[in-house]
Amino acid sequence: MALLETRDLTKEFGGLRALDGVTIGVERGELVSLIGPNGSGKSTLINVITGLLEPTAGEIRYDGTDVVDLSPYEITQLGIGRSFQTASIFPELTVRENVEVASFATEHDSFSVNFLRRRDSYDAVRDRTDEILETIELEDVAGNDAESLPYGDKRRLEVAIGLATDPDLMFMDEPTAGMSPGETRMTVSLIDDLIEEWGMTIFLVEHDMDVVFDVSDRIFTLHEGRVIARGAPEEIRDDPAVREAYLGGEEV
């Protein structure tokens, strides 16, 4: 059984059908990428699966559980995480504190004084934070204010905050956007570590095709809310429908 499955997933915004019958499956331990032109529905698909948006129709099952009516918090508790946008970073907290806050919030729905008093709970959060900061290569700047970080480090802190919720499946929406080639390489190696060392399943939305073709086990292509192609990187690379979607039918 696939870890994550959607069936005929549809999302309408007023008259606009942003997702139109999306049926996909993601196996445990896989890295799948979702590509498609701007506005094709990629972020909407992530937002619907993670519970930020309610689907208009269709099914979503995670590890056999129907998650359509669950809140984002409940979905996180099941093991679905996401790399958050920069807006979710607390700029005046340190790098370490940002990860700890996310980690505490995962242990408990809201901050509970009783929880914070429990030494073993705090130890668990601290150990998890250490492990995450090491993986993400931010341990040297753990005590710095988050706002002082360079752009690439801020983006990795978003991934760290996502990891603090202890996910089995992680969504990453354009993790290399705006990065220098060096920062992109670091992010790719981080993604490799998450798969190989953390045993994670990753669902990546990414515009950098070199990254997509390098890291993906399988690729889904969305166009106007529909999956127009799916397969291994070498199958997608030469798929005429994919070329047409990106190039608007121009000869290449």
Residues in the site for ligand ATP, rule: CB under 6 A? 13, 16, 18, 36, 38-44
**Based on CB atoms, which residue is closest to Mg ion, 42 or 223?**
42
Window 42-71: residues binding Mg ion (CB under 5 A): 42-43
Assess 39 for contact with Mg ion (CB under 5 A): no
**Based on CB atoms, which residue is closest to ligand ATP, 43 or 88?**
43
> How many residues does the structure list for the chain?
252
Least separation in angstroms between residue 62's CB and ligand ATP is 20
Least separation in angstroms between residue 238's CB and ligand ATP is 22
Return the one option of ligand ATP, Mg ion, none that residue 18 interacts with (CB less than 5 to 8 A, by type).
ligand ATP
Return the one option of Mg ion, ligand ATP, none that residue 82 interacts with (CB less than 5 to 8 A, by type).
none
Q: What angle do CA 91, 93, 97 make, to 5 degrees?
A: 130
Q: How many residues bind Mg ion (CB under 5 A)?
A: 2
**Based on CB atoms, which residue is closest to ligand ATP, 156 or 223?**
223
Residue whose C-beta lies closest to Mg ion: 43
Other CB atoms within 10 Å distance of the CB of residue 72: 14
Strands (E), 83-232: 169-173, 201-205, 218-223, 226-231
Return the one option of Mg ion, ligand ATP, none that residue 110 interacts with (CB less than 5 to 8 A, by type).
none
Beta strand pairing status for 31-35 and 169-173?
A: unpaired
Q: φ and ψ at 45, to 5 degrees?
A: -60, -45
Return the one option of ligand ATP, Mg ion, none that residue 33 interacts with (CB less than 5 to 8 A, by type).
none
**Based on CB atoms, which residue is closest to Mg ion, 39 or 233?**
39
Nearest-angstrom CA–CA distance, 188 and 97: 25
The token pair at 158 is 């978003």
**Based on CB atoms, which residue is closest to ligand ATP, 43 or 144?**
43
Nearest-angstrom CA–CA distance, 133 and 110: 23
Beta strand pairing status for 4-13 and 16-26?
A: antiparallel
Least separation in angstroms between residue 94's CB and ligand ATP is 30
Q: For helices 95-107 and 119-135, what crossing angle results, to 10°?
A: 130
Task: Using the structure block, give the residue that is written with the tokens 């990795």.
Answer: 156
- Which residues make up the interface to Mg ion (CB under 5 A)? 42-43
